[in-house]
Amino acid sequence: MTGLGIVSPIGNSVEEAWTALLAGDRGAAEITRFDATAFPVRFACEVKDFDVAAFVDGKAARRMDRCTHLLVGAARQAERDAGLDVASVGERAGTAIGTALGGVASFEQTVLQLAERGPDRVSPFSIVQTLPNLAAGWVSIELGTRGPLLAESTACAASSMAIGDALDAIRLGRAEVMVCGGAEAPVTPVSVAGFAAMRALSTRNDDPASASRPFDRERDGFVIAEAAAVLVLEELEHARARGARIYAELGGYGVSSDANHVSDPDPVGANAARAVHMALADAALEPDEIGYVNAHGTSTPAGDSAETRVLKLVFADRSKPPLVSSTKGATGHTLGAAGAVEAVFTVLALHHGVLPPTINHTAPDSECDLDYLANAARAEQVDAALSNSFGFGGHNSVLAFRRWAGD
């Protein structure tokens, strides 16, 4: 990894977001993107003070959904951070992006226009604003990548899988540079109402900042959030040849399916554990070499206890499991962007030797009994880490990273 970019509820740059994460800042507050007065859930983790004009010209911006605005902002940051003109790599540079809902805000607006004003008033840009794959398409257009153009829409595992796709594209010789990550902008009436109706969201309207409580006994659902994160992944010799700063190495990728339920995780955890083992084997790592896990940890009752069982299955032969945290306590659940947001944080943890905390973890749960780095970052240099992402439908995706030691 040679470049990182992020737009998030706790900061609109890597430096801002990382500093806020370690300080224990929380991004949840009352919804401002629409009038949520009549909704059962009236708070979310929104991106604040984002200026799309700093990244995209006005004409192009009008053809994009907010999801793509955030994404192109993160992609521009990552390109600058890598010190690389991606377009100069030409057909040897590609793009892989994940999103769950794509341009959901634009879709909702189009439905309203159709209902209220008739078909002649529907925007000619409504389809390109809405299609999930156009998030990847716009990044390719804006940055000038002409190699593989890949798009994942696998719920909350989408951007983790996009990063895995990018790794595979480089390994197969289809690219030397991949701009990879994901974005989501789901703070919309239909999204909030829908997730609330299925009782997936926390209902702590009186205390939004404390609502996202991964692995805590009092957790009652996730906090819906918007964000984008992008990483520049390079083939090693390409990065070395240009003297690039290397944050960390992406060593392996594992995927599996629960084949269990449209929204609930496999309660045993065996299938998600298989994805973890696959990522470890792909990276030539043993379980006892993992020092940190950035957990999916959404703050849902079933999900967090199931993930704890997954980790216990994987690390059963260790006397002491690795340290674990869920950064969703700070950011909320960014759905399809979560894997990329958390990959950025995992890379930074390896690079800086500081492990981020699980915010709002105050009441231990007997079913979640690992060391979750509760409420405080910890200075600890680890050599290898995992990032877990699990999505509705049974999508399991795991990324394995190594600390870059210059060799």
- The span from the CA of 148 to the CA of 170, in Å, is 10
Q: Tell me if residue 352 is catalytic.
A: no
**Main-chain phi, psi angles of 240, to 5 degrees:** -65, -40
Structure tokens at 74: 């993160």
CB distance 251 to 282 below 8 Å: yes
Please tell me the distance from the alpha carbon of residue 67 to that of residue 210, in angstroms, as a whole number: 26
238, 296, 361, 395: which is the annotated catalytic residue? 296
SS3 184: strand
Q: Which residue type sits at 63?
A: R
Q: What is the DSSP letter of 156?
A: G
Q: Is 361 a catalytic residue?
A: no
- Collect all residues with Cβ–Cβ distance below 8 Å to 141 and sequence separation of at least 6: none
Point out the catalytic residue in the list 45, 67, 156, 368: 156
From the list 238, 333, 361, 395, the catalytic residue is 333
* Residues whose CB is less than 8 angstroms from the CB of residue 147 and which lie 6 or more positions away in sequence, other chains included: 89, 90, 91, 92, 93, 94, 95, 169, 174, 175, 177, 178
Q: State how beta strands 384-391 and 395-403 pair.
A: antiparallel
Q: Is 45 a catalytic residue?
A: no
- CA-nearest of 58, 158, 171 to 101 is 158
Whether the Cβ atoms of residue 11 and residue 20 lie closer than 8 Å to each other = yes
Helix (H) or strand (E) holding 314: helix 301-314
The residues assigned a catalytic role are 156, 296, 333
